[in-house]
Amino acid sequence: MSYDFILTESDGRVATITLNRPEKLNALSNELRGEMFHALKEAEADPAIGIIIIKGAGRAFSAGYDLTPAPVPNHPHVNPHSGMPDVGTTHPNHYDWSRHTILANWQIWELSKPVIAQLHGYCLAGGTELASMCDFRIITEECQVGYPPVRAMGSMDMMWAPWFLPPAKARLFAYSGDAFTGRDLEWMGWATYAVSKDEIDDFTMKFAQRLGNIDNHMLSYNKRAVNRQYEIMGIHTGLMSGTDVEAMSKHRPEAGEFGKRAREGGLKAALEWRDGPFRDFRGAYASAPHDRALAGADSSDEFKGQDV
């Protein structure tokens, strides 16, 4: 199968899907996501494959959802009505994006085979949502993981933090948008292992091959047994209820500020404004406004894009 935005390969029992937009830090366009979900299902259907790895080409796993999308006409892996990966609904409602992301990523949760997220460089916003739905996360020690859109744009699309982090750290992640390192996240339990960037490819493959010594049916039932416990505790209901709050967060009086700045000065300028006082991500640039005023409530329009 040929794809435009991902690469696929197999090595024995292990299939690898590589997000392949390195010039965009693997920003998650709808077309890339549609191809990824298709490739996951192809690997699931292959009886020779037992384990699937998702990783990113270039400098990062993923910087999040694509804020400057260039839709590909008639792309075979997006719904012709919604322009998004097909998850059983065309999402016709206002601010239905966060609901879509959960239904899309839930396909990984329900996949019969274990999926390993191999993370390096940056894993931001939508990238963290994708990684969190995988069964295992193997990360470089220095990898930066965060959700900076909560600083100005909207609350997390998929409120995974309380399910996978200690309460105090979940609040820090969801309130501040600050980055945690791979070492931090191994200690907190979100990352399965944190390793050096020089060894992550070999380490992840050996880990996958070790799991591959278990037959597919046993792996499937092991995964289902663990997942159902979280479902009984309410993870699906909890994540879906978070989408209502996310929609409300984009109706607050200050919601139009980011979009206005993006239209007037470009996306990079808006990101520098968002992150400036925090002096990280785009805010680390000298051109970023490190001492800016709070977002105002004088803009009548609202930011309707997807979170980076």
Q: What is the pLDDT of residues 190-246, one digit of tens each?
A: 999 999 999 999 999 999 999 999 999 999 999 999 999 999 999 999 999 999 999
Whole-Å CA distances, 247 to 31, 33, 94, 243, 306: 24, 22, 9, 6, 12
CA–CA separation, 115 and 108 (whole Å) = 7
Q: Is the model's pLDDT at 306 over the cut of 50?
A: no
Q: What is the pLDDT of residues 113-156, one digit of tens each?
A: 999 999 999 999 999 999 999 999 999 999 999 999 999 999 99
Domain that holds residue 150: 6-203
CB 153 within 8 A of CB 175: no
Classify residue 111: in a domain, yes or no: yes
Residues 103-116: pLDDT tens digits? 999 999 999 999 99
Determine the pLDDT at residue 94.
76
**What's the CA angle centered on 59, arms 14 and 151, to 5 degrees?**
110
Mean pLDDT in residue range 40-45: 98
If one counts the domains in the chain, the total is 1
Measured torsion, CA atoms of residues 140, 151, 64, 158, in degrees rounded to the nearest 10: 100
- 285 inside domain: no
Amino acid at 55: K
Assess if residue 103 is contained within a domain.
Answer: yes
Q: Any idea what the CATH number is for the domain that residue 199 is in?
A: 3.90.226.10
The verdict on residue 144 lying in a domain is yes
pLDDT for the residue 227: 98
Position 228 in a domain: no
**Which of 139, 5, 7, 132 has the alpha carbon at shortest distance from 61?**
139
pLDDT, position 305: 44
Q: Which pairing describes strands 180-181 and 144-146: parallel, antiparallel, or unpaired? A: antiparallel
pLDDT at 297: 61
